Structure 1
């Protein structure tokens, strides 16, 4: 396991950035794409597929009365079907995540400003 990778069924990376940390959820992104494609390509219910094609043919004049485009409603319906949790199993992985977060959150010394005097 690399220093910034947290393994699991949905592995991710944790990286320090100025002022905090960044979670890179590549595994979750892949699950979401799979979920969207599964929903769109469901042979037993082509409703989402049909709506996708309707959205592709939209013009500015085809807005709904409340101002929301069918695109936004399709996004919302697809999002309801998507994965959003990243399970982390096992004590070792949880401890590694905790260790990395503490390491990132630890106070760090700022480099001294050279050639400047504090008044």
Structure 2
């Protein structure tokens, strides 16, 4: 489904065709995000997120009500990676790969003489 050669960068992006469009495979970003979440949960000097995770999973007898899962999710999202940097021509290669996978024509640049 995905092309064999990814658009390179700190986080490789594989582009593949799907019916009616393109699909980006960001497995490297997923690994980075999961690592960020684990780091946040296992931070030794601040157990706030770990405690919140356990409170959401099984509220203590003293808790007035079950803590909101969205609160935990928001705090983890704030600590997780979300950006994929592309340097130099990688952005153009990604755009061309997406357009190719989506079946769109990539126009050639015209020379100055044209």
> TM-score of the superposition, structure 1-length normalised?
0.72
1:85 corresponds to which residue? 83
Matches within 5 A, 1:90-109: 90-91=88-89, 93-106=90-103
Q: State the Cα distance separating 1:62 from its structure 2 match.
A: 2.9
Runs of 4+ in structure 1 off by over 4 angstroms are: none
> TM-score of the superposition, structure 2-length normalised?
0.75
Conservation of the 8 A alpha-carbon contact between 1:8 and 1:89: yes
1:113 corresponds to which residue? none
Deviations 1:50-97 (A, max 9, x none): 1111112149x934xxxxx52221011111111111111122x22321
Greater C-alpha radius of gyration: 1
Q: Aligned-residue CA RMSD in angstroms?
A: 2.3
Which stretches in structure 2 are left out of the alignment for 5+ residues? 106-114
